[in-house]
Structure formats: structure tokens, C-alpha cells
Amino acid sequence: MVLSNKFRHLALLLTASGLASAAPAAYGNLSKHYALEAIQATNTLQKLFYNGTSGLYFAINSTNNSTAPVWWNSANCITTLADLTAIDGSVSNTTNPIFANSFENAPAYVLNQKKIDPQNTCIGQWPWTCPPGVEPEEITPGGFDNDFFDDAGWWGLAWVSVFDVTQDETYLNQAVDIFNRMLSEGYNATCGAMWWNKEHEQQNAITNELFLSLAAHIGNRVDNSDYYRGWATKQWDWFQNSGLIQPSGLVVDTLNNATCQANTNDPSFSYNQGVILGGLIELNKLDPNGTYIDIANTIAKAAIANLSDANGILTEFNSNGNPDLGLDLPTFKGVFARNLQFLQQETKDSSYASYIRKNADSIWNTDRSTINGTLGTVWDQYFGQDLPQGHCAAMDMLVAAAAVS
Ligand SMILES: *[C@@H]1O[C@H](CO)[C@@H](O)[C@H](O)[C@H]1NC(C)=O
Ligand SMILES: *[C@@H]1O[C@H](CO)[C@@H](O)[C@H](O)[C@H]1NC(C)=O
Ligand SMILES: *[C@@H]1O[C@H](CO)[C@@H](O)[C@H](O)[C@H]1NC(C)=O
Ligand SMILES: *[C@@H]1O[C@H](CO)[C@@H](O)[C@H](O)[C@H]1NC(C)=O
Ligand SMILES: *[C@@H]1O[C@H](CO)[C@@H](O)[C@H](O)[C@H]1NC(C)=O
Ligand SMILES: *[C@@H]1O[C@H](CO)[C@@H](O)[C@H](O)[C@H]1NC(C)=O
Ligand SMILES: *[C@@H]1O[C@H](CO)[C@@H](O)[C@H](O)[C@H]1NC(C)=O
Ligand SMILES: *[C@@H]1O[C@H](CO)[C@@H](O)[C@H](O)[C@H]1NC(C)=O
Ligand SMILES: *[C@@H]1O[C@H](CO)[C@@H](O)[C@H](O)[C@H]1NC(C)=O
Ligand SMILES: *[C@@H]1O[C@H](CO)[C@@H](O)[C@H](O)[C@H]1NC(C)=O
Ligand SMILES: *[C@@H]1O[C@H](CO)[C@@H](O)[C@H](O)[C@H]1NC(C)=O
């Protein structure tokens, strides 16, 4: 669809910076080539998908002509911009105001808050059966807190990445607050470690990977690193023995609540194979032990083998080329790309670098709107989605290509 007038005013933060005119250079300097593509995609992202009022990115649905702000996916877009800034500091004059704006404004527009039963008269599980006249309510706890501990973890990692490129401790302190709240409100689930949400509906891999990764990231950046080393190693001991890592090397999505065994028939989403890589790399810095990187390599190689199509392009688990991945899944592949970048930089494994470049080239050449620059959810064909989730994920691969080249 063509952008209607109501979108035109949105946070045109980049137009004044001159980035709009950035065009990919010739292939002379590969790193620069990919960085310029990522900068151009940043311009598109801010122009089409950023709401400067809320500091959140929003999905456009041209079928029903509506927009929907996205919460945890916005944290991932912020992380993408921080990772780009880390490899090309020239964009910081553009990205720093975005970080500051989202940090300031997003909490007032939190989505998926914790629910309460106002009179304690409803029965069953959420969404509950309530007596006539009683409505379950959502409460806004403030900060980057909602019902979901994984959502908190994404924001925690986003603010660590922003701290890394700004050296502004306000961001790191926010990440510490988020970690403390995950620990005090979500730890000690029935199978050990973290619950997925405050209603205790599930215990899954992603929340536990995020908890590990956030603890290790913080531990490498604060004075009281012992405390975070303790939590990160304890969490890894739990994760390693949880059964979530299959003999194949793939990480499955959830645990069975009753038996505490991994649900081996569950999907092995790409993000399940991603967050753990960065977590293990940071853990290895905090508590050096060669086994961490060995296991990260095992998981990454299993994921590449399982999730790539016949041409070596990353796909989402079991998606069979379907571009409609809903509103959550389009973020996942970016999480894997970002963490594979970190693993490549740690190991210098050239097979990772060529995989990353091949995917970045495919995205730029086949998965981009020639009309407005949007990057889609399937990395070897463009289907015209208008989702910041998919756009940022594809950007993660461009940033990774710049970083490893
Ligand atoms: C490529 O460009 C990057 C970013 O501008 C620069 O840091 C790097 O030194 C360049 N590499 C070569 C080989 O020119
Ligand atoms: C931006 O966010 C504000 C606050 O939620 C909302 O009122 C406004 O409609 C949003 N704009 C768009 C285009 O989504
Ligand atoms: C319209 O699309 C938005 C964004 O995809 C979605 O959140 C919303 O549920 C849809 N509305 C209807 C009525 O289907
Ligand atoms: C969406 O908006 C466009 C432009 O205003 C209009 O042509 C189209 O009919 C609308 N579609 C729906 C499903 O309302
Ligand atoms: C960024 O902003 C600072 C302060 O406004 C200015 O001194 C500097 O030249 C700018 N850097 C770039 C690369 O535009
Ligand atoms: C978890 O439970 C154990 C045993 O009851 C308790 O000692 C510990 O403090 C709890 N940890 C947290 C973070 O609540
Ligand atoms: C998981 O266990 C918790 C606590 O026993 C329970 O409240 C929740 O309903 C269970 N969830 C599922 C999906 O069984
Ligand atoms: C390294 O980690 C492995 C697996 O967690 C553990 O068994 C081993 O004792 C650790 N080695 C050292 C030297 O800490
Ligand atoms: C990926 O792993 C799943 C689950 O183990 C398996 O069913 C599927 O066949 C694998 N696909 C490929 C291409 O390896
Ligand atoms: C867009 O809206 C249509 C119609 O309401 C809905 O069927 C579709 O699932 C929505 N797409 C997304 C990605 O939410
Ligand atoms: C961008 O262009 C594509 C076609 O290439 C179209 O499907 C999509 O709706 C457009 N998005 C916006 C936000 O204009």
C-alpha cells in the first residue's frame, strides 16, 4: 500500500542527517558495502515503521488498513540499531536520539501487561470466567515490565547493547533493574529457573536463554561481576541439564510443565538457537571455559544445517517458504543472525562469515521492495509485507555481514 498521510509525520529522524541519500558503494570494501545497505535500511525503518510518540515500531496491515505497535520486537529493532552503531559509529548522531526517545517514551505504551482479577472473584485460568459485571484488568507496572519475562529480557539486552555504544550508564542501570525483576518475580519455576510469564503458564527455552545472556552481559560490565557470574553459571548448569538441547544440537522451544521433560515435538525456532550463542560467548568472557564455545558451535552448526533451504538461505523452522509468519516469528531469524555474528567474531570460523554474506546478499537482491525499501520475512523472495519485525531481522543479517567482512 501507499503510505497515507497519517504516517507521513512519523519521526522522520533521519532525513536531516543525510542518510536518505546513502547508496551502497561498489564492492571495493565489503564491510562498508554492507554497512551502507544497513544504513539505507535504517532510513526506511524510521520513515515507515517508527512512532516517535510511543517510541515503538508498528506493523502495518494493508489488508485491514490498520497499524499495530509491537513491543518485544521493538526491543529487537533497538538492538539492531545499536549493533549497527557498534560497527559504524558515524550513525550515532542518528541512532542516539532514537535510543533516548524509545527509552523515555515506550514504558507508557507497554503492551501485554500483567492481568489482575480486580475483585478476586473470577475462576479458572486467564482469560478467566468472571461473574457478571466483573472485567479482568490489565495493570501497568511501569518500566519495561509486562506480563512476560522474555519480553523483559529482550529489553534488557537492548539496553545493554545501547550502553555499549553510548557508554551512558542510565541504560545499563535499566538492564540491571530488568534482570533483578526477572529474578525476583520469575525465578524458581516448578522445573527450576524461569517462568515464561507471571501467570506461570509455561517454562520455555527463550526466557531461560535470555536470563542467562542478560546475567552474563551485565556481569561483564559491572563492578560486582561475581554476583552475575554466579547466576549465569547456575543458569547454564540448569539449561545444559534441562533437556532443551536435543542430541541433534537443536534447542527445542518448551518444557512439559508436568514432567519437566523437553517437549521434543515442539518447534526448534531460529531464535532458540540464537540467544544461547551470545549468552555462551559472554559467559566464556566472565568465566572462561572452552566447553562454552564448543557447545555454541554445535548449536550454531546444527541450526544452519536444519534451518537453511537448499540454497543455504536461513528459513524459519517448518515455515516452508510461507511469508505469513504472524507478528512474532518474523523477528526470530534476526536474533539468530545477530548471535551468529558474535560467534563468528569469537571463533573467526570462515564458514559462518560466508553463510552470513550469502544471506545478506540474498536479502538485498531478492527480499527488498524496489518501491520503498522494505525488507521482508522470506530471505529469497519479496512478498510485500510491511512489518518492522521482518525488516529489522533482515537488517540484523546486513549488520552481521558488515561486522564479519
Ligand atoms: C573498510 O571500511 C571500514 C569502515 O569504513 C574501515 O574500518 C576498514 O578499515 C576498511 N577496510 C579496508 C580494507 O579498506
Ligand atoms: C503513535 O502512537 C500514539 C500513542 O500510542 C498513537 O496515539 C498514534 O495513533 C500512533 N500513530 C500511528 C501512526 O500509529
Ligand atoms: C488488523 O491487523 C492488525 C495488525 O496485523 C492486527 O493486530 C489486528 O488484529 C487486525 N484487525 C482485525 C480486525 O483483524
Ligand atoms: C484501505 O485504504 C485504501 C486507501 O485509503 C482504500 O483504497 C482501501 O479500500 C482500504 N481497504 C480496506 C480493506 O478498507
Ligand atoms: C555529531 O554531533 C556532534 C554534536 O552535535 C557533532 O560535533 C559531530 O560533528 C557530529 N558527528 C557527525 C559524524 O555528524
Ligand atoms: C528459590 O527457592 C529456594 C528454595 O526455596 C530459595 O532458597 C531461593 O531464595 C529462591 N530463589 C529466588 C530467586 O527466589
Ligand atoms: C504449568 O504449571 C503451573 C504451576 O503448576 C500452572 O499454574 C500452569 O497452569 C501450568 N501450565 C500448563 C500449560 O499446564
Ligand atoms: C567447564 O564447564 C564444564 C561444563 O559446564 C564443567 O564440567 C567443567 O568442570 C568446567 N571446567 C572448568 C575448568 O571450570
Ligand atoms: C530439522 O529438525 C526437525 C526436528 O528435529 C526435523 O523434523 C527436520 O526433519 C529437520 N529438517 C532438516 C532439513 O534437517
Ligand atoms: C492482517 O489483517 C487481516 C484481516 O484482518 C488478518 O487476517 C491478517 O492475519 C493480518 N495480518 C497480520 C500479519 O497480522
Ligand atoms: C512497499 O512496497 C511494497 C511493494 O514493493 C508494498 O507491498 C508495500 O505495501 C509497501 N509498503 C509501504 C509501507 O508503503
Here the cell at position 349 is 570460523
347-396 pLDDT, tens per residue?
999 999 999 999 999 999 999 999 999 999 999 999 998 999 999 999 99
Domain count, the chain: 1
For 300, the grid coordinates are 550454531
Q: In the prediction, which pLDDT does 28 show?
A: 66
Ligand nearest to the CA of 195: 7
What integer is the mean pLDDT of 194-212? Answer: 96
State percent of the chain over pLDDT 90.
84
Report CA(98)–ligand 1 centroid distance (Å).
Answer: 26
Mutating to test ligand 11, I would choose from 62, 369, 378, 381 the residue with most ligand atoms within 8 A of its C-beta, which is: 369
- pLDDT number for residue 125: 67
The number of the ligand nearest the C-alpha atom of 2 reads 11
Please state which of the ranges 135-144, 156-165, 190-199, 333-342 shows the lowest mean pLDDT.
Answer: 135-144
Cα separation, 334 vs 80, in Å, equals 9
348 lines ligand 7 (CB under 6 A): no
Query: Among all ligands shown, which has an atom nearest to the Cα of 211?
Result: 6
Tell whether ligand 1 has an atom less than 6 A from the beta carbon of residue 405: no
**How far is CA 341 from each of CA 7, 93, 368, rounded to the nearest angstrom?**
34, 24, 22
pLDDT score recorded for residue 59 = 98
- Dihedral angle over CA of 98, 103, 105, 109, nearest 10: 110
Q: What is the CATH number of the domain that holds 260?
A: 1.50.10.20
Residue 124 domain-assigned (yes or no): no
Query: Would you say residue 109 lies in a domain?
Result: no
Q: What is the pLDDT, as a whole number, of residue 124?
A: 76
Domain contains 118? no
Judge whether residue 15 has pLDDT over 80.
no
Asked whether 390 and 375 are in contact (CB, 8 A), the reply is yes
Q: Decide if pLDDT at 6 tops 80.
A: no
Cα-to-centroid distance, 234 and ligand 8 (Å): 12
* Domain-embedded: residue 130: no
Q: For residue 233, report the distance from its CA to the centre of ligand 8, in Å.
A: 10
Q: Which amino acid is at 168?
A: D
201 lines ligand 7 (CB under 6 A): yes
Q: How far, in Å, from the CA of 29 to the mean position of ligand 1?
A: 6
Residues 318-337 have pLDDT tens digits of: 999 999 999 999 999 999 99
**Winning range, highest mean pLDDT, from 19-33, 126-140, 321-335:** 321-335
Residue 228 maps to a domain = yes
Predicted pLDDT of residue 115 = 76
Ligand 10: which residue has its CA nearest to atom 9? 326
**Ligand 2: centre distance to CA 322 (Å):** 30
> Over the stretch 230-251, which tens digit does the pLDDT of each residue have?
999 999 999 999 999 999 999 9
Q: Is residue 24 part of a domain?
A: yes
3-state class of 293 per DSSP?
A: helix
To which residue does cell 523452522 refer?
317
**Averaged pLDDT score across all residues of the chain:** 91
pLDDT of residue 12: 32
User: How far lies 256's CA from each of 51, 84, 186, 244, in Å?
Assistant: 39, 38, 17, 10
- The protein residue whose alpha carbon is closest to atom 11 in ligand 8 is 289
Q: Does residue 345 lie within any of the structural domains?
A: yes
User: Who's near 74: CB < 8 A, 6+ residues apart?
Assistant: 55, 56, 57, 102, 106, 388
129 C-alpha to ligand 5 centroid (Å): 57
Let me know: does 13 contact 50? Beta carbons within 8 Å. yes
User: In this predicted model, what pLDDT tens digit does every residue of 56-102 receive, in sequence order?
Assistant: 999 999 889 999 999 999 999 999 999 999 999 999 999 999 999 99
Q: What is the per-residue pLDDT for 401?
A: 98
- Per the structure, the complete domain to which residue 285 belongs is given by 5-95+148-404
Q: Per-residue pLDDT tens for 96-128?
A: 999 999 999 999 999 988 777 778 888 876 677
Q: Using CA positions, which residue lies closest to atom 10 of ligand 4?
A: 65
Determine the Cα–Cα distance for residues 335 and 350; give it in Å rounded to an integer. Answer: 20
Q: What is the mean pLDDT of residues 301-330?
A: 96
> What is the distance in A from the centroid of ligand 7 to the CA of 200?
6
C-alpha span between 165 and 251 (Å, rounded): 30
Whole-number pLDDT of residue 142: 72
In a domain, 107, yes or no: no
Atom of ligand 6 nearest to the CA of 184: 13
Decide if pLDDT at 141 tops 80.
Answer: no
Give the number of C-alpha atoms closer than 13 A to the C-alpha of residue 235, restricted to the C-beta side.
Answer: 30
Tell whether ligand 5 has an atom less than 6 A from the beta carbon of residue 112. Answer: no
To 10 degrees, what angle do helices 92-105 and 30-49 make?
40
Per-residue pLDDT, 11: 30
260 — pLDDT class (breaks 50, 70, 90): very high
